[in-house]
Every structure is written in C-alpha cells, then in structure tokens.
Amino acid sequence: MSLRAQLWLIFLAPVVLMGALFALGLTLPMPALGRGYVIRITLPPAGEPADLPQVLGPKDKSRPLIVIDAGHGGHDPGASGNGIEEKNLTLGLAKALRDEIVKEGGIRVALTRSDDRYLVLAERFGIARALGADLFLSIHADSAGDADGVSGASIYTLSNTASSEAASRFADRENSADVVNGVALDGRSDMINAILVQLSQRKTQEDSNVFAGLILREGKDRLKFHSQPLRSAELAVLRAPDLPSVLYEAGFVTNPQEAQALTSPRGREAFAKVMARAVRIYFARQSGDG
C-alpha cells in the first residue's frame, strides 16, 4: 500500500467508523470536557435592569439611605474557622444592623444580599449607587491562619493611591450622561470629567474617614478592636467615587472566642447598637453640614 493510501486510511477510518455506528444507532461514550469545579452564574439578559433589594424604613426618599453589604456568599464562603464561615457571620451581623436601624427609625436601609447568594465586587457598590445610597458599609471577617490569639476588629477606607486610580477609571468608564455627586458629566472634556470625579472622590474619602472614626469612637469599650484599627487599602468594593464607603472587619473567625461572640445573639446586638449609633451620628452631622 502506498504512503498516500495509508494517510487517507488514517484520516478516513474514524469517519467511516462513526458513520457505521450512527447508522446502527450506536454511540461511543464521550469524555467529560472541562472541570467539575467550574462555576456557572446565570446573568440577566442584556439590557434588562437587575433586581434591586428592598429598601426598608421611612417611605420618604429624602431620608438618608445606608446600604449594608454582607461580604462573600454563595460559592464563596470567605474565611473559615471553628466551623464558622465568613459569609454566614457577615450576613448575621448585616441583618442585625438592618433590624436595629429599622427599629430606631428615621433612616432608610437596604442589604446587598439577604440570603446566601454570590455577588461580584462591582455589583455590591453598584447596587448602592443604583439605589442612591448616602453611605455604604461592607462587613467582613478575617483569618489569622495558624496564628494564635489574634483578635479585634479593623476599619478600612480606600487608600489615597487606590482612590485616585479608581476615580480615573470611573471617569473613563462611565458614559457621557452620568452624574457624580449631582454634577452631570455630559458635554465636558475628558480632562474636566476626570477632575470633577477626583474632586468628588476627595470629598467622599473625607466622609468615609469621618464615618470610620465614628465607628471607632462609638465602639470604644463596647467592641473589641485590633491594636491598629484604622487602616486604608486598595479594596475594590470601596471604589465608588461618589459614595462614602467603609469596610468593617468584624474580627477573626480563626479565633474561637471571637468567632463564637460574633455569631451569638449578644454579640450581634452589641455590634448592631454601636454601628447604628455611628450611622445616626454620621447622618446627623451630614445634615448639619448641609
């Protein structure tokens, strides 16, 4: 048999075999493609608005609105330790704070998630912006790995470097009809838009730092803080340029005593009362400034 005939046989044999099997109604088992840990997320059809969470509290939309974000969720458990997952701990704290704010009245409140669902980082502060929030609080918990005795809450705001980068990216990304802090960006040059966003970001950072300081002040002798509680970092969830935002690391799930306290009714109540008071004082000051 010639070389050409051998080559044709190599290429045609599988086709002939599959054709014969198909004619006989038989099939060969096909290997599974891909990996079993691939996560598939159902997204809404393009052009359809995403469902926004319910806003609780006064019906008057002139009342201030805080959006509380329980970190992680769904397939993303976050940190874990002592049989506790961060996603459940943060959701418990978020609901406790929501209920405390509703009980006290006067302030509107919404949760980015009220159940065990996954949200991408941009979606979290995107929900807050879509609702017209005046304040954004993201709740997390930390892990110290194998280190013993590490405990205490930390309060994060966006670092100055990340703040500037976020403002520039936001100005590039948003369309010409967007509005930041009540200022329309349409009809202006890209350079002017970038400056407007950066000025907005500067005021936002000042307000974020004020709120972080109030949490620390109101939580003194009531909550346990880390030895260096006030921090700044390049955290994507805090990068809305026109929305004062703070990330609160409630403590360490790897610390048995702290994890137990944070998931107990008493611990949640203590957190909720301190944080609700800080929120109320923050909005009172903002109203006085206006």
The alpha carbon of 175 is separated from its chain's Cα centroid by a whole number of angstroms, namely: 23
Helix-helix angle 190-219:160-173, to 10 degrees: 140
pLDDT of residue 109: 98
pLDDT of residue 87: 97
Q: Apex CA 191: angle with CA 189 and CA 197, to 5°?
A: 105
In sequence order, the 6+-apart residues with CB closer than 8 A to the CB of 170 are 180, 197, 239, 240, 241
Report residues of the chain scoring pLDDT below 70: 1-9, 11, 15, 21-22, 25-50, 161-200, 289-290
pLDDT of residue 233: 85
pLDDT of residue 206: 93
* Nearest by Cα to 274 from 233, 224, 229: 224
- β-strand partners of 154: 249
Q: Token pair for residue 119?
A: 């949200």
pLDDT of residue 177: 36
pLDDT of residue 190: 53
**d(Cα 189, Cα 241) in Å, to the nearest integer?**
18
**d(Cα 6, Cα 103) in Å, to the nearest integer?**
83
